[in-house]
């Protein structure tokens, strides 16, 4: 109970900060912020690994791939104790569900639901004109739509949480934000979590620390994002910076807002001066109003 209470407190950040209003609860909204959050299923165990069929179920093997062809994978499993080192075995392609590489990413196949992790995020944002704070919660692989007070918002904190209790927290947030425009539905983009490395085009990188891993072990630390260096000493990473979680931000030209207001495309990006009437041109390079 104590752990659950602590995790809840960590998730809400400042505790009593109100949630942003969902658009479905604000039928007369005059300024909405909308988009889509994509959170691909991520490997939640150590790597490398091979998941193979086992009757009507599947089993996970740890070790290294010795040979891989279009027809089969030859896998050398890790030692099973000090006196038993299994021989490499050939698995036909139809026996293999997924091959996980050294980086925790699928080389071939798809991660089974029970072995993967789906992350949701919770942003803490501040309205730069009034100083009012709001929490915005984003479910994995789902659209989002919030009714917001018009103005400029800066992202000040991001929490990453999955369905089994793993929790990462941003430690240094880049200067990113968005603008809610009166009389418009602002599309802030499609955000895809942890698929593109920091430094690539249209990527926002959030340095993070590990807050919670239910298994309390070094192997559990692997779940901290494919671009994080969370593969080593869990106790060291527990209190320090573990690496990066990333958003790949794109504009879907076919996006349809939930609000009936005209659509303005202004993807999540660098914050701008709220004292000016218009954001910098490069911030709205893909702006379009559609009726």
Distance in angstroms (rounded) separating the CA atoms of residues 183 and 259:
10
**pLDDT for residue 271:** 58
The pLDDT of residue 284: 34
Global pTM? 0.72
Q: What share of the chain is helix, strand, coil (3-state, %, to 5)?
A: 10, 45, 45
Contact between residue 108 and residue 91 where contact means Cβ atoms under 8 Å apart? no
**Cα-based distances in Å from 79 to 15, 83, 87:** 47, 8, 9
State phi, psi for 239 to the nearest 5 degrees: -105, -5
Which residues does the chain have with pLDDT short of 70?
1-15, 215-239, 271-291
Return the closest-CA partner of residue 189 out of 117, 135, 263.
263
Give residue 228's region: left, alpha or beta (phi > 0; psi -120 to 50): beta
* The dihedral formed by the CA atoms of 184, 140, 279 and 276, expressed in degrees to the nearest 10: 80
Report which DSSP code applies to 3: H
- In this prediction, residue 215 carries a pLDDT of 58
Q: What is the pLDDT of residue 237?
A: 52
């Amino acid at each position: 109970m104590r752990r659950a209470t602590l995790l809840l407190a960590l998730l809400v950040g400042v505790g009593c900060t109100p949630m942003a209003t969902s658009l479905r609860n604000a039928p007369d909204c005059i300024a909405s912020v909308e988009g889509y959050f994509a959170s691909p299923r991520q490997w939640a165990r150590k790597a490398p690994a091979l998941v193979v069929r086992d009757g009507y179920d599947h089993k996970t093997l740890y070790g290294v791939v010795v040979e891989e062809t279009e027809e089969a994978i030859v896998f050398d499993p890790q030692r099973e104790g000090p006196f038993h080192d299994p021989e490499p075995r050939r698995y036909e392609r139809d026996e293999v569900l997924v091959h996980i590489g050294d980086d925790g990413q699928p080389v071939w196949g798809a991660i089974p639901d029970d072995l993967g992790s789906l992350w949701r995020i919770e942003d803490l944002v501040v309205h730069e004109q009034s100083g009012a704070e709001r929490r915005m919660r984003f479910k994995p692989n789902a659209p989002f739509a919030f009714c917001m007070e018009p103005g400029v918002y800066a992202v000040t904190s991001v929490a990453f949480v999955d369905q089994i209790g793993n929790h990462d927290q941003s430690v240094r947030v880049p200067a990113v934000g968005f603008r809610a425009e009166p009389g418009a539905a602002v599309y802030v983009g499609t955000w895809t979590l942890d698929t593109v490395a920091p430094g690539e085009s249209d990527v926002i990188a959030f340095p993070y620390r590990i807050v919670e891993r239910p298994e309390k072990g070094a192997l559990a630390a692997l779940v901290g994002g494919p671009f994080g260096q969370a593969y080593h000493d869990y106790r060291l990473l527990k209190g320090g910076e573990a690496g990066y979680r990333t958003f790949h931000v794109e504009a879907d030209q076919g996006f349809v807002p939930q609000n009936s207001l005209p659509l303005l495309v202004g993807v999540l990006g660098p914050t701008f001066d709220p004292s000016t009437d218009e954001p910098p041109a490069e911030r709205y390079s893909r702006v379009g109003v559609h009726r």
